[in-house]
């Protein structure tokens, strides 16, 4: 359960696919508010659905709304819907690393999909996310779900190096213990 909560912590910040200096248009704010909510309710998600369905939304606004609705759906436990939103975002803007990473985070919560999640997060890292530390952290958690503890430890360490001021990776690394043993050959 702790791992699931930590995966959600990565998605706590809503997506911003438009210039940070621009204020959110009112229709975009609806989905951002749902993504900001610790556990979005049906009403928030329905309002976001209606806002996204509006014709003529500028592409950056629609992209931000899809990413935010996907994040809200993960928090609400609607994993299939979240994956669908991230797929739409990837189709619309395949160069947005956060879409790949968020899809990976959602898939990591679905039993048996951790390996696919790792591949998606890795692809997002290759594109270049705004927060590499959070991407390494997400991939570390997916590695842990998949049982790849050495890779998990390496990614937690990479997250700590990428953002030394963020305490979460260092806290996770405390759970790992490396033993070195002499191996006799002969």
* Position 140 in a domain: no
* Position 77 in a domain: yes
Q: Would you call 115 exposed, middle or buried from its count of C-beta atoms within 10 A (0-12, 13-18, 19+)?
A: middle
Q: Of 108, 91, 87, 88, which is closest to residue 11 (Cα–Cα)?
A: 108
* Position 114 in a domain: yes
Domain count, the chain: 1
* Position 65 in a domain: yes
Dihedral angle sign, alpha carbons of residues 67, 70, 76, 77 = negative
Residue 66 tokens, joined: 């899809």
* Position 170 in a domain: no
Question: CA angle, corner 120, sides to 176 and 63, nearest 5?
Answer: 125
pLDDT in tens, 118-173: 999 999 999 999 999 999 999 999 999 999 999 999 999 999 999 999 999 999 99
* Position 141 in a domain: no
* Position 134 in a domain: no
Which phi-psi region, left, alpha or beta, contains residue 96 (left: φ > 0; alpha: ψ -120 to 50)?
beta
Domain that holds residue 67: 2-129
Residue pointed to by tokens 């959070």: 134
Q: What is the mean pLDDT of residues 104-130?
A: 97
**Angle, helices 59-75/79-92, rounded to nearest 10 degrees:** 160
Residue 58 tokens, joined: 């500028």
pLDDT in tens, 34-88: 999 999 999 999 999 999 999 999 999 999 999 999 999 999 999 999 999 999 9
- Give me the CATH number covering residue 8: 1.25.40
* Position 83 in a domain: yes
**158 CB neighbour count, 10 Å cutoff:** 18
Residues 6+ apart with CB under 8 A from 27: 51, 54, 57, 61, 65
Lowest-pLDDT choice from 22-26, 158-162, 167-171, 177-181: 22-26
């Amino acid at each position: 359960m702790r791992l699931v909560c930590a995966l959600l912590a990565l998605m706590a910040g809503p997506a911003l696919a438009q210039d940070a200096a621009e204020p959110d248009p009112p229709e975009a704010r609806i989905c951002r508010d749902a993504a900001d909510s610790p556990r979005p309710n049906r009403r928030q998600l329905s309002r976001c659905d209606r806002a996204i369905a509006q014709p003529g939304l500028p592409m950056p606004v629609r992209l931000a709304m899809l990413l935010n609705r996907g994040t809200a759906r993960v928090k609400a436990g609607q994993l299939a819907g979240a994956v669908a939103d991230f797929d739409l975002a990837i189709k619309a803007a395949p160069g947005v690393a956060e879409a790949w990473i968020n899809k990976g985070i959602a898939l990591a919560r679905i039993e048996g999909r951790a390996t696919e999640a790792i591949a998606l997060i890795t692809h997002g890292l290759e594109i270049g996310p705004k927060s590499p530390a959070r991407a390494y952290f997400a991939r570390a958690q997916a590695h842990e779900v998949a049982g790849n503890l050495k890779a998990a430890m390496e990614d937690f360490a990479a997250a700590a190096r990428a953002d030394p001021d963020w305490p979460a990776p260092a806290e996770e690394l405390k759970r790992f213990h490396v033993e070195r043993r002499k191996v006799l050959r002969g």
